[in-house]
Amino acid sequence: MKTCWKTPTSWKKLSSILCSPTAAILKAPSGNASLSLRSAGLSATEFIFQIEPEDAGERLDVYLAEQDDPPMTRSQVRKFLDRGEVRVNGQQVKAGYKLRDDDRIVWAHTPPTEPTIEAQAIALTLLYEDDQLAVVDKPVGMVVHPSIGHPDRTLVNALMHHFEELPTIGGELRPGIVHRIDKDTSGALAVTKTDRAHHHLADQFREHSIERVYHALVFGPGLPDQGTFDTLHGRDPNHRMRFTGRVTKGRRAVTHYKVMERFVSGAVLVECRLETGRTHQIRMHFCDAGCPLLGDALYGGKRTGQCRLIDRQALHARTLGFEHPDGHRVFCEAEYPEDFAQALQSLRAGGDWR
């Protein structure tokens, strides 16, 4: 059984995340490269969460559904609670149990489909690479790491094929992954090859010193030319797959934006600079502001979910800048993918997105 220590904040207490018993370097086998958790005899993963004061009073099922790993909806969490996989302070409790400060949750989770980290020959576009790290131009539709529902064909599977060594410090299913972007968001993503690089970039994410710029197409005829969204971030109580800033308790989420172009259809090209990096942060902020992203079925709903110009959320990780472990500055820019570029060209020509 593999054990993963988790804390409520993504990068808080990074050194206590012990998803690998040795934090060793993961080497891809030569030839027909394959490394499977099933073949290694690891059928269950033990996730351990230590509750902090900010999460006290929250329901157990709600709290677990908010965690990045294992990624599940609240209804899915309840099924595993009913199976008896989760214990709080050594006791089995119900889904509605109210968490207390310093509670210890142990979840011995066995996924219905065992994810793998098989090395798979998937094409990658590299914006930067050296012996310590790389920056990948992640394509639309690619999941970053294996999880329930996405056991393979992920960025991690591709990295295992392309690179000989990856650190496992971020978790055995997430070698080299120091941050993530959504499946249907494209653009620049940093990956690490050494523990040193992983720690160095993780520190910068925690300190909010990473330069992350996204471009998005939103419906915002009344959107001010620039501004800052500074809100809380939590699950939407009315839609468990979404997040919202309209909560009374949560973590801080900050997005700075400016309008780059306006179009006759009411669509707007915006540049977003992330100060924090919460799940769905940009999509959430513009939805809460009444200016949802074009093509965003989850947050746009009937307003912008159906877009004839692009069939996914119009969001692209344009630039990524950070300090390299050796001290120099790395700055990468990802060109627009074809669907985003064509949507932008149509809007500039006076086309309607509806």
Spot the catalytic one: 69, 103, 137, 182: 182
Phi-psi region of 287 (alpha: psi -120 to 50; beta: other; left: phi over 0): alpha
Residues in CB range of 89: below 8 A, 6 or more apart:
103, 104
**Can you tell me whether residue 81 is helix, strand or coil?**
helix
182 is catalytic: yes
Contact 107, 64 (CB under 8 A): yes
β pairing state of 45-50 and 2-6: parallel
DSSP state of 6: E
d(CA 261, CA 268): 6
Which residues in 204-220 are b (16+ Cβ under 10 Å) and which e?
Answer: bbeeeebebbbbbbbbb
Instruction: For residue 104, give the H/E element and its range.
Output: strand 104-109
- List the catalytic residues: 182
